Amino acid sequence: MDKTYLYEMCKHEMGHYVVAKLLNFDVEGITLLNGYNASAHVSSATILLQRSLENIEQIKKYLEDRIIVLYAGVLSESLINQKINLQGVGDLFNSSGRNDNNKVNDLVQLYRNILYPNETNSSKILEQLKLINDKCYDICFKLVEEEAIFLENIAGEIFDIVNGKQTKSLSKSEIMGIKIFSDKFNQV
């Protein structure tokens, strides 16, 4: 696996992983695989999506959080010197983040249907979709920028661990064993 590609995948998957943890999803491990599937990478962060959803407010919060976690991969992958590379984000949504982007579109549509169940005007629907999408993207953007130093550092640590190994997977306990990760999340 190309080292630059591997580092980018470390940033991408740790973006999902860290933001999911910050939003109180339970996380397991990560797997970094070489290659693409339908123009998207096939690496993954294992995030347990189960939450108790007892009312509509919890459902709405869950959908927002899930969308934010999906955006976190590409935004983290685009980090260069602790800044999100705005020019590269769009390209990443159409390449390494294509599967994430497809899921975002589905979840935004579902969320809009819950918020505005009786709206049939297509221009209003597009406005509503954009409003939801922009809100979640902006929240994620802020989170990734706030955590940029940590995200780049933890991606570097993950890269150092998996580079040159045949199996590029880390379990939850292996990730928690990384000092900068355990230092951060034992405080949260």
Confirm if 107 and 136 have CB atoms less than 8 A apart: no
pLDDT digit string, tens, across residues 69-86: 999 999 999 999 999 998
Mean pLDDT of 104-130: 97
Please determine, for residue 38, whether its predicted confidence score (pLDDT) is greater than 50: no
Neighbours of 138 (CB within 10 A): 12
Q: Where are the domains of the chain?
A: 3-185
User: Of the given ranges (15-19, 45-49, 74-78), which has the lowest mean pLDDT?
Assistant: 45-49
- The listed CATH number (1.20.58.760, 3.10.350.10, 1.10.1060.10, 1.10.10.410) that belongs to domain 3-185: 1.20.58.760
Instruction: Report the distance separating Cα 163 and Cα 116, nearest Å.
Output: 47
Q: Is the four-CA dihedral 50, 53, 59, 65 of positive or negative sign?
A: negative
User: With a threshold of 0.75, does the pTM exceed it?
Assistant: yes
The whole-number pLDDT of residue 1 equals 60
Confirm if 48 and 28 have CB atoms less than 8 A apart: yes
Instruction: Report the distance separating Cα 119 and Cα 46, nearest Å.
Output: 35
Q: Distance of alpha carbon 25 from its chain centroid, rounded?
A: 12
